[in-house]
């Protein structure tokens, strides 16, 4: 049921991106774009440069060459904070949550950027700070309801099973109300049922909020099922780009995944 | 209005809206906050819903399928259908499409109200083969935005339709036309045998049952109940619907199935109802957490639970107990029982009932001993769950109490319990043959349960009449009784005992994956899943210990001494309603299991030490697969009657 969603123009353009760490060339002249409201997957074997690409998008790494265009504006070496302010949120491969804090508090951190009242005002519980907190709490409750984690509000994240922690990680990212959501292996280490749930949530997010999604994933079944377009990386180069069907038939992609004799 | 004219549910609703308009009628937790609707708002909601349904073409005599978790709007839909002289037919929310299809076709249903996308999808699937289903209405719009089928619409849209189209007098006129002997609700029996039958219950019968119950336990508008049990179950209809509309008390709908424990703590219901398995699960969870607790807490728990076991139930019944014991119990109340009741969300519980299946005596004693006024009642869908109730202060562990006000109970020569009352179902829908079979010429309903009255006039139910058998040597064999003994152990989730016409009793066991899994983790026993864990040597030893304890207790009762379990095996899969092994209310379907696992039963009685089995299973996503395993069969120690005391 993806019929009602209108895929729009290009929201993120990556042009000739090259990134090197000393002698290691993580990305070499990679170009692709992401359109508004689409689910875009980045796939490739281990070490292909997928996570590096996400890190370039949200400003962790600054590419030596190439340009990033976001919402029509060329971006020059933004940092992560600025990327977040522009509406880019992400989840991490190795869950980045505060293990000792409750699910609710973790998700509240996702609202941090949008909070205006200062530390002192919040500590003193001044009326406007309280009012603001209530507003944010309501937004967080929407996300909790959406991802069906009502039963775990008060549970410390560290005590939750892995699949649920992944969901909380997604909840925290969603709480930012991003326009572009980056998901780094959202389904790694999950069982079949958890994967199905996660797929449904990703599609629902995309459908309900119109969020543009870029995801890295290893499970080919999942990628082919939920993404609109796929870009394939191998050794830092782009070797394929297109719809799941096109990519599946691409010889270079098959070789990269299955290996080829030289 | 006098009580006489309050003879249908819509009239009761109007009365509450007039008498206590601002009293909370129903609450639901949404987005983390309890939202409440008072009686006057509920009345308004029901009106617009009824108008909307009428606008869609719902007519007197139509049935309205209702499927979903306990949601305020689904309850309102029930009343709305009744306002229009129709019959709500609530269905089990976890039923698969074929089961729904059967009911939809049998009851000739044109209108269905579903909670969410999941249920809508099932109904759409049903509709392909059930063209009679004309309208599907949903409550929660999530994920349904792109459903373009013309027959699918939201409840909001239906209410909107109603608000615009009808005059307020229309509904009043419709309610005026309602009669007390109209069918108020139709419930499909879970059917331990054969296809489910639609039990038609009139307003009169259900209101009689509700009034009787409210009077018996002095329920008032100030009581609170948490309604989390399937709406398709007669218990929920009596407690959360009928009694609430009779007494005017507040119904609370939990946020989701998973949050029931938390929601219960927040609400603190005064009136609580749960089938034995819920009490069992709660106890299992408590036991798991205690085992994980520190040494001091563990010691305190075990010490004071021992005190409670000795005198707790007696203190609750107001019997005389020594001063020393009373002092210890008071201490225990401060340190253990009070906090435990709080954790269970039962601090304010004034009356708690259990029914639906026989409860293990030990389980029952546990709750009473920590000061929760847990009582048993006896009834079935056909009798509106209203036959026998236990009186405060006259609680026995193994009876279901005295006949409720207005109910006549007698025991047939065969030992079967017969019931006659004003709270009796009208008929099985379109099944006059089945109706004639269960209601005799004198108007007695044949319950199918075997039981007898004890010296105090309390009814004692042994088992289903058809399940009670005789062993080869002539001793009585009551499988349920044995199974309940086994199921009290937190490690055992389900048991099926065999012994009719045999020399000895043997049993299938399902371990409780939560409790045994936790136990295994603490002992560093690795396992990959249920099938693997079930066949571990250590687990077999654990279960054998439980079975032997049960044997020792059975040996104490001369009538049941022969029912000790001689051999058992642990099944390779959990018994599941999806595989038809249990009913939706989780009762064992004995004959079906007997056929399906025939080879295992043969192996139990042939002296083999293991048996290979392969079984088809249905997964939750609807696919099916196979589970196979080599099942071990173990012998257990049994006790002669004389030495049993020492061993126990």
Chain B: nearest CA to A146, how far in angstroms? 9
Torsion of CA B167, B171, B173, B174, to 10 degrees: 140
Q: Could you tell me the end-to-end alpha-carbon distance of chain A, in angstroms, rounded to an integer?
A: 44
What strands lie across the sheet with A73-75, from one edge to the other?
A: A24-35, A10-21, A65-70, A73-75
Mutant choice from A1, A139, A155, A161 vs B, greatest count of B C-beta within 10 A = A1
Chain A: nearest CA to B528, how far in angstroms? 13
Q: Rounded distance, CA B209 to CA B15, Å?
A: 19
Q: Rounded distance, CA B17 to CA B24, Å?
A: 10
pLDDT confidence of residue A6:
79
Per run of 10 residues, the mean pLDDT along chain B (length 648 residues) is: 76 96 95 94 94 94 95 96 96 90 94 94 93 94 87 94 79 92 91 79 96 94 94 92 96 92 92 88 86 91 92 86 91 93 93 81 86 91 92 84 93 87 93 90 90 84 80 84 84 92 92 91 91 92 94 79 91 88 82 90 90 82 80 89 50
Which of B142, B147, B259 lies closest to A151 in CB terms?
Answer: B259
Identify the residue with better confidence: A119 or B423.
B423
The residues of B whose Cβ lies within 8 A of any Cβ of A are 30-33, 142-143, 145-147, 255-256, 258-259, 262, 620-621
pLDDT confidence of residue A1:
38
Which of B31, B147, B258 lies closest to A141 in CB terms?
Answer: B31
Rg (CA), chain B: 25
pLDDT confidence of residue B2:
52
Is A144 close to B32, i.e. CB distance below 8 A?
yes
Chain B: nearest CA to A133, how far in angstroms? 15
Chain A: nearest CA to B265, how far in angstroms? 13
Q: Rounded distance, CA B261 to CA B105, Å?
A: 37
Rounded to the nearest angstrom, the gap between the alpha carbon of residue B482 and the centroid of all alpha carbons in its chain is 20
Rg (CA), chain A: 19
- Under a CB-based contact definition with an 8 Å cutoff, are residues B566 and B636 in contact? yes
Is A153 close to B32, i.e. CB distance below 8 A?
yes
Complete DSSP assignment for chain A = --TTPPP-SEEEEEEEEEEEETTEEEEEEEEEEEETT-EEEEE-STTSSHHHHHHHHTTSS--SEEEEEETTEEE-S--HHHHHHTTEEEE-TT----TTSBHHHHHHHTTGGG--S-HHHHHTT-HHHHHHHHHHHHHHHHHHHHTT-GGGTTSBGGGS-HHHHHHHHHHHHHHT--SEEEEESTTTT--HHHHHHHHHHHHHHHHHH--EEEEE-S-HHHHHHH-SEEEEEETTEEEEEE-HHHHHT-HHHHHHHH----
Maximum Cα–Cα distance for chain B, whole Å? 79
Q: Which residues of B touch A141 (CB under 8 A)?
A: 31-33
Q: Rounded distance, CA B596 to CA B578, Å?
A: 14
Looking at beta carbons, which pairs linking B472-477 to residues 24 or more positions away fall under 8 Å? Answer: B472/B501, B472/B502, B472/B503, B473/B503, B473/B562, B475/B559, B475/B560, B475/B561, B475/B562, B475/B563, B476/B559, B476/B560, B477/B505, B477/B562, B477/B563
pLDDT confidence of residue B450:
83
Q: Which residues of B touch A196 (CB under 8 A)?
A: 621
Is A3 close to B262, i.e. CB distance below 8 A?
no
pLDDT confidence of residue B269:
96
Rounded to the nearest angstrom, the gap between the alpha carbon of residue A62 and the centroid of all alpha carbons in its chain is 18
B281, with CB counted inside 10 A (0-12, 13-18, 19+), is: middle
Give the model confidence (pLDDT) of A154-175 as tens digits.
999 999 988 899 999 999 999 9
Alpha helices in B62-116 (DSSP H): 72-83, 97-106
Going by C-alpha positions, the residue among B221, B185, B223, B177 that lies closest to residue B201 is B185
SS3 label, residue B223: coil
Tell me the CA distances in angstroms from B220 to B208, B239, B243, B382, B465, one per residue in order.
16, 13, 10, 26, 37
Looking at beta carbons, which pairs linking B607-613 to residues 24 or more positions away fall under 8 Å? Answer: B608/B633, B609/B633, B611/B569, B613/B572
| Proportion of chain A in helix, strand, coil states, percent, rounded to 5 | 40, 25, 35
Mutant choice from B28, B30, B31, B259 vs A, greatest count of A C-beta within 10 A = B31
Is A151 close to B142, i.e. CB distance below 8 A?
no
Chain A: nearest CA to B208, how far in angstroms? 38
Is A150 close to B255, i.e. CB distance below 8 A?
yes
Does the pLDDT value for residue A262 go beyond 70?
no
SS3 label, residue B258: helix
pLDDT confidence of residue B648:
40
Residues forming beta bridges with residue B567, ordered by sequence position: B506, B635
Is B32 close to A207, i.e. CB distance below 8 A?
no
Chain A: nearest CA to B143, how far in angstroms? 7
Helix/strand number for chain A, H first, E second: 10, 10
Which of B31, B146, B258 lies closest to A142 in CB terms?
Answer: B31
Q: Rounded distance, CA B415 to CA B398, Å?
A: 17
Maximum Cα–Cα distance for chain A, whole Å? 70
Tell me the CA distances in angstroms from B259 to A100, A149, B228, B353, one per residue in order.
21, 9, 10, 21
Q: Which residues of B touch A210 (CB under 8 A)?
A: none
Going by C-alpha positions, the residue among B564, B561, B543, B570 that lies closest to residue B637 is B564
Chain B: nearest CA to A98, how far in angstroms? 22
Alpha helices in B234-275 (DSSP H): 234-236, 243-247, 260-267
Chain A: nearest CA to B372, how far in angstroms? 25
- Please state the pTM of the whole predicted model: 0.80
Q: Which residues of B touch A145 (CB under 8 A)?
A: 30-31
Complete DSSP assignment for A208-227 = HH--EEEEE-S-HHHHHHH-
- Under a CB-based contact definition with an 8 Å cutoff, are residues B55 and A176 in contact? no
Q: Which residues of A touch B620 (CB under 8 A)?
A: 193
pLDDT confidence of residue B133:
94
Q: Which residues of A touch B33 (CB under 8 A)?
A: 141
Is A150 close to B143, i.e. CB distance below 8 A?
no
Mean pLDDT to the nearest integer, A123-145 = 90
Which of A4, A144, A154 lies closest to B146 in CB terms?
Answer: A4
Q: Taking the CB of residue B3, how many other CB atoms lie within 10 A of it?
A: 10
Is A193 close to B620, i.e. CB distance below 8 A?
yes
Residues forming beta bridges with residue A24, ordered by sequence position: A21
Mutant choice from B115, B116, B120, B145 vs A, greatest count of A C-beta within 10 A = B145
pLDDT confidence of residue B190:
67
Cα-based angle B230, B235, B241 (whole degrees, multiple of 5): 85
What DSSP designation does B239 have?
Answer: I
Tell me the CA distances in angstroms from B161 to B117, B155, B166, one per residue in order.
22, 10, 9
Chain B: nearest CA to A145, how far in angstroms? 6
B606, with CB counted inside 10 A (0-12, 13-18, 19+), is: exposed
Q: Which residues of B touch A160 (CB under 8 A)?
A: none
Identify the residue with better confidence: A256 or A80.
A80
- Under a CB-based contact definition with an 8 Å cutoff, are residues B250 and B224 in contact? yes
Residue B156, phi-psi category: left (phi > 0), alpha (psi -120 to 50), beta (remainder): alpha
Size of interface A-B (CB pairs under 8 A): 41
Going by C-alpha positions, the residue among B456, B505, B465 that lies closest to residue B485 is B505
Q: Rounded distance, CA B154 to CA B262, Å?
A: 30
Rounded to the nearest angstrom, the gap between the alpha carbon of residue B611 and the centroid of all alpha carbons in its chain is 34
Q: Rounded distance, CA A177 to CA A155, Å?
A: 23
Q: Rounded distance, CA B496 to CA B250, Å?
A: 39
Is A3 close to B31, i.e. CB distance below 8 A?
no
Q: Which residues of B touch A193 (CB under 8 A)?
A: 620-621
């Amino acid at each position: 049921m993806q019929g009602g969603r209108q895929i729009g123009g290009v929201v993120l353009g990556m042009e000739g991106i090259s990134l090197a760490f000393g002698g290691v060339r993580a990305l070499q002249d990679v170009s692709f774009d992401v359109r508004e409201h689409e689910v875009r997957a980045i796939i490739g074997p281990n070490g292909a440069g997928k996570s590096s690409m996400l890190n370039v998008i949200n400003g962790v790494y600054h590419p030596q060459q190439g340009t990033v265009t976001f919402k029509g504006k060329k971006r020059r070496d933004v940092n992560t904070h600025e990327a977040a302010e522009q509406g880019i949120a992400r989840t991490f491969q190795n869950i980045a949550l505060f293990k000792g804090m409750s699910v609710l508090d973790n998700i509240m951190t996702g609202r941090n950027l949008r909070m205006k009242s200062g530390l002192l005002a919040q500590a003193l519980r001044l009326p406007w700070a309280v009012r603001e907190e209530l507003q944010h709490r309501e937004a967080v409750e929407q996300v909790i309801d959406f991802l069906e984690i009502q039963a775990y509000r008060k549970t410390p994240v560290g005590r939750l099973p892995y699949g649920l922690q992944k969901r909380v990680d997604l909840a925290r990212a969603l709480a930012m109300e991003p326009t572009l959501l980056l998901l780094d292996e959202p389904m790694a280490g999950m069982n079949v049922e958890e994967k199905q749930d996660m797929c449904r949530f990703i599609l629902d997010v995309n459908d309900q909020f119109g969020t543009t999604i870029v995801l890295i994933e290893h499970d080919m079944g999942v990628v082919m099922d939920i993404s609109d377009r796929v870009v394939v990386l191998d050794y830092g180069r782009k070797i394929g780009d297109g719809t799941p069907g096109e990519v599946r038939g691409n010889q270079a992609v098959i070789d990269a995944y299955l290996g080829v004799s030289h | 209005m006098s009580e006489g004219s309050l003879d249908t549910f819509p009239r009761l609703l109007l009365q509450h809206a007039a008498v206590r308009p601002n009293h909370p009628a129903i609450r639901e937790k949404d987005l983390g906050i309890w939202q409440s609707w008072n009686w006057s708002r509920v009345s308004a909601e029901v009106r617009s819903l009824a108008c909307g349904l009428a606008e869609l073409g719902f007519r007197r005599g139509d049935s309205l399928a209702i499927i979903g978790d306990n949601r305020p709007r689904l309850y309102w839909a029930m009343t709305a259908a009744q306002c229009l002289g129709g019959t709500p037919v609530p269905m089990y929310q976890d039923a698969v499409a074929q089961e729904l299809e059967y009911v939809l076709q049998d009851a000739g249903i044109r209108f269905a109200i579903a909670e969410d996308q999941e249920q809508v999808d099932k109904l759409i699937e049903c509709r392909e083969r059930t063209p009679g289903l004309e309208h599907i209405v949903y409550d929660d719009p999530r994920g349904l935005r792109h459903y373009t089928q013309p027959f699918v619409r939201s409840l909001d849209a239906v209410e909107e339709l109603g608000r615009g189209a009808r005059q307020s007098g229309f509904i009043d006129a419709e309610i005026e036309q309602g009669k007390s002997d109209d069918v108020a609700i139709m419930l499909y029996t879970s059917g331990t045998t054969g296809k489910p039958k639609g039990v038609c219950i009139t307003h009169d019968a259900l209101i009689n049952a509700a009034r009787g119950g409210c009077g018996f336990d002095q329920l008032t508008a100030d009581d609170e109940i948490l309604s989390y049990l399937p709406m398709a179950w007669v218990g929920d209809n009596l407690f959360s619907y009928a009694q609430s509309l009779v007494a005017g008390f507040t119904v609370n709908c939990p946020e989701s199935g998973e949050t029931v424990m938390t929601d219960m703590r927040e609400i603190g219901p005064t009136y609580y109802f749960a089938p034995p398995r819920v009490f069992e699960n709660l106890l299992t969870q408590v036991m798991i957490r205690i085992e994980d607790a520190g040494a001091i807490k563990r010691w305190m728990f075990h010490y004071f639970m021992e005190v409670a076991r000795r005198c707790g139930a007696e203190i609750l019944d107001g019997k005389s107990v020594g001063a020393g014991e009373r002092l210890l119990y008071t201490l225990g109340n401060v340190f253990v029982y009070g906090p435990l009741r709080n954790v269970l969300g039962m601090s304010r519980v004034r009356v708690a009932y259990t029914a639906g299946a026989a409860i293990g005596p030990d389980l029952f004693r546990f709750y009473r001993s920590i000061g929760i006024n847990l009582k048993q009642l006896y009834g079935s869908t056909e009798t509106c769950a209203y036959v026998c109730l236990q009186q405060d202060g006259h609680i026995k562990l193994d009876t279901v109490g005295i006949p409720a006000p207005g109910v006549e109970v007698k025991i047939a020569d065969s030992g079967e319990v017969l019931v006659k009352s004003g709270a009796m179902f009208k008929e099985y829908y379109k099944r006059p043959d089945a109706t004639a079979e269960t209601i005799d010429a004198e108007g007695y309903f044949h319950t199918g349960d075997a039981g007898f009255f004890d010296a105090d006039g309390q009814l004692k139910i042994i088992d289903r009449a058809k399940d009670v058998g005789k062993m080869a040597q002539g001793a009585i064999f009551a499988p349920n009784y044995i199974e309940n003994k086994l199921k009290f152990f937190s490690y055992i989730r389900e048991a099926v005992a065999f012994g009719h016409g045999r020399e000895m009793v043997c049993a299938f066991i399902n371990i409780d994956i939560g409790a045994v899994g936790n136990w295994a983790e603490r002992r560093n026993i690795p396992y990959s899943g249920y099938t693997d864990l079930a066949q571990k040597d250590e687990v077999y030893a654990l279960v054998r210990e439980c079975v032997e304890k049960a044997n020792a207790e059975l040996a104490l009762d001369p009538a049941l001494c022969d029912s000790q379990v001689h051999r058992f095996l642990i099944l390779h899969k959990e018994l599941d309603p999806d595989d038809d092994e249990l009913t939706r209310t989780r009762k064992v379907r004995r004959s079906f299991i007997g056929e399906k696992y025939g080879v295992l039963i043969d192996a139990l009685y042939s002296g083999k030490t293991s048996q290979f089995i392969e079984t088809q299973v249905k997964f939750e996503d609807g696919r099916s697969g196979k589970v196979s395993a080599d099942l071990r069969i173990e012998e257990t120690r049994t006790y002669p009657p004389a030495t049993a005391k020492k061993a126990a």
